[in-house]
Amino acid sequence: MALIVQKYGGTSVGSVDRILNVAQRIKKTCEAGNQVVAVVSAMGGVTDKLIGLANEINQNPAERELDVLLATGEQQSIALVSMALHSLGIDAVSCTGRQAGVVTIGSHTKGKIDKIEANYVKDNLNAGRVVIVAGFQGVREDGLIHTLGRGGSDLSAIAIAHAVGADLCQILTDVDGVYTCDPRVVKDAKKINTISYDEMLELASSGAKVMQSRSVEFASKYGVVFEVRSSLNDNPGTIVCAENDSMETVVIRGVSIERNQARITVTGIPDKPGNSAQIFTALSEAEVNVDMIVSNNTHEGLARHSFTVSDSDLAKALASIQGLLPDISSEAEVLTEAGMAKLSVVGIGMKSHSGVAAKMFDVLGKAGINIGLITTSEIKISVSLDAAKADLAANVIHEAFDLKS
Ligand code: ASP
Ligand code: MG
């Protein structure tokens, strides 16, 4: 008998029919001889609706009350899923975050899981029940209700799988798994069977958002192996686990695109300590998230910094830098270019294969695609390029690295 934690997201419990479908899946898993803990999200759209309501009532709602309000979304789902199981003759109980022993720390609406005291969950499993746990919520030591940040049910599921010592954690969602590229962009993109935590994180940070990154980091830290699969069919999904030697035989695991990027270049910066700090401090004070950063000394002691920000932050970023320029130097100038995208190739195989960057740039060059900035990590190469060329770039790279086979 295996103990399986299944997480059902908002889409998977988004309607009466979907909830009945979830109950059928849980029933099937039980009938195959397994114990099941199901962690569920609020029905799709409910959390957004609750936030909307709060903002209609008060433009600046207290976060303590937001937590109380938002936690009700998941509370509806657990009761409904439990009732659906009862109607199928399955013994099931719902559990709020508090009942599941999810103890959190941190500020309201941004809770972090500190520990899980899962006795109540375990007792119910031992009594032969299915346990349905509310994702996205916990309770602080002082007893206040806490939510874990948007998309936080993934984290709840991974942490509960760890706490109960599950044999398997399944993240059931509306996609079949993690793909070599977005299938809407590359039509022969392929579902990846196994991917390492690090690759999954790098893909997510470059735009392929299947799951909340924080939950992948948690899984990596505690070695929780999980599978991302569809709640709407029985296709096997993608297993996410620690890297092993055989994974390195594949050079590139996937390609991802992040759109709506802009490039900012500041030139004529005197090459002396503190100037970079001044620029990036101003950006951080303006709450601009900076992504790729490339710097270079040009000539005569002047440096140039180029970096990317999201298109929506461009005006803010530009204003904060322009305010600084007179302080920096009379020769300093700032140039911007909107309408860019970031394309990344990710794979731990890069550690043991040389020439990946050369091949990537060659393929892009031959397709007539100009590369802007380039940044790399041990397992990722990212380039910025004209957004209009991003789909073509993804397709030629997918083909060149033979990701479809
Ligand atoms: N219901 C929460 C949200 O929409 C948590 C989740 O779905 O994971 O963000
Ligand atoms: Mg969700």
CA of 78 to the centre of ligand 1 (A): 13
Atom of ligand 1 nearest to the CA of 212: 8
DSSP letter at 61 equals -
Q: How far is the CA of 199 from the centre of ligand 2 (A)?
A: 21
| Sign of the alpha-carbon dihedral angle for 117, 12, 227, 123 | positive
Gap between the Cα atoms of 38 and 28, Å rounded: 13
Closest among 81, 67, 78, 77 to 100, alpha carbons compared: 78
Q: Is the pLDDT of residue 389 over 90?
A: yes
Q: Work out the percent of the chain whose per-residue pLDDT is above 90.
A: 86
How many H helices and E strands in the chain? 12, 18
198: buried, middle or exposed (CB in 10 Å: 19+, 13-18, 0-12)?
buried
Supply the residue whose CA is at minimum distance from atom 5 of ligand 1. Answer: 151
Q: Whole-prediction pTM value?
A: 0.89
Per-residue pLDDT band for 212 (boundaries 50, 70, 90) equals confident
Label the pairing between strands 238-241 and 254-270. Answer: unpaired
Token pair in block for residue 69: 């309000």
Element holding 153 (H helix, E strand): helix 153-164
**Vertex 193 angle, CA 22 and 6, to 5°:** 25
Whether the pLDDT of residue 298 is over 80: the answer is no
Residue of 42, 256, 65 lying closest to 153 (CA atoms): 42
Q: Of the candidates 226, 155, 158, which has an alpha carbon nearest to the alpha carbon of residue 194?
A: 226
**CA 99 to ligand 2 center in whole angstroms:** 21
What is the C-alpha separation between 247 and 402, in angstroms, rounded? 16
Q: Which of 47, 67, 102 to mutate to test the pocket of ligand 1 (most atoms within 8 A of CB)?
A: 47
- What span, in angstroms and rounded, lies between the C-alpha atoms of 120 and 141? 17
In the prediction, which pLDDT does 249 show?
85
Nearest atom of ligand 1 to the alpha carbon of 42: 1
CA nearest to 145, candidates 71, 53, 49, 54: 71
For residue 225, report the distance from its CA to the centre of ligand 1, in Å: 22
CA of 197 to the centre of ligand 1 (A): 22
pLDDT of residue 290: 95
Residue of 58, 61, 147, 62 whose CA lies nearest to 109: 147
> What pLDDT is stored for residue 115 in this prediction?
97
CA–CA gap between residue 69 and residue 49 (Å, rounded) = 11
Ligand 2 centre and the CA of 71: distance in Å? 13
Q: Is the pLDDT of residue 207 over 70?
A: no
CA distances (Å), 331 to each of 296, 302, 326, in order?
16, 9, 9
Q: Mean pLDDT across the chain, nearest whole number?
A: 94
Query: What confidence score (pLDDT) does residue 296 get?
Result: 86
Question: What are residue 3's DSSP bridge partners?
Answer: 35
Closest CA to 130 of 262, 29, 226: 29
Dist. CA 303 → ligand 2 center (Å): 44
CA pair distance 356, 353, nearest whole angstrom: 7
Does the pLDDT value for residue 372 go beyond 80? yes
Report the residue among 136, 210, 211, 218 best suited for mutation to probe ligand 1: largest number of ligand atoms under 8 A from its CB: 136
- Per-residue pLDDT, averaged over 389-399, amounts to 97
Residue whose CA is at the smallest distance from ligand 1 atom 9:
150
Ligand 1 nearest-atom number relative to CA 149: 9
Question: Domains in the chain and their CATH numbers?
Answer: 3-174 (3.40.1160.10), 255-400 (3.30.2130.10)
Task: Give the pLDDT confidence score for residue 237 in this predicted structure.
Answer: 95
Using CA atoms of 351, 242, 149, 206 in order, give the dihedral in degrees to the nearest 10: 20
As a residue count, the chain comes to 405
For residue 136, give the ligand 1 atom closest to its CA. 5
Confidence of residue 131 (pLDDT cuts 50, 70, 90): very high
How far does the centroid of ligand 2 lie from the alpha carbon of residue 173, in Å?
A: 9
**Beta-bridge mates of residue 55:** none
For residue 91, is pLDDT > 90?
yes
Is the pLDDT at 310 greater than 70? The verdict is yes
Q: How far apart are CA 315 and CA 358, in angstroms?
A: 35
pLDDT digits (tens, 9 = 90+) for 147-187: 999 999 999 999 999 999 999 999 999 889 999 999 999 99
Torsional class of 162: left (φ above 0), alpha (ψ -120 to 50), beta (otherwise)? alpha
**pLDDT value of position 405:** 77
Q: Which ligand has the minimum distance to the alpha carbon of residue 150?
A: 1
Cβ atoms < 10 Å from Cβ of 19:
21
* Ligand 1 pocket by Cβ (under 6 Å): 9-10, 41-42, 47, 73, 135-136, 150-153
- Count of other CB atoms within 10 angstroms of residue 221: 11
pLDDT per position as a tens digit, 242-269: 998 888 888 899 999 999 999 999 999 9
> Candidates 147, 153, 212: which one to mutate for ligand 1, based on the most atoms within 8 Å of Cβ?
153
- What helix, strand, coil percent values describe the chain, rounded to 5? 40, 30, 35
Packing angle between helix 314-322 and helix 275-285, nearest 10 degrees?
Answer: 130
The pLDDT tens digits of the residues spanning 326-341 come to 888 888 999 999 999 9
Instruction: Give the per-residue pLDDT at 246.
Output: 83
Percentage, residues of the chain above pLDDT 70: 99
Place of tokens 């409904």: 80
The predicted structure's pLDDT at residue 45: 97
Residue 180: what pLDDT? 95
What's the mean pLDDT in 28-45? 97
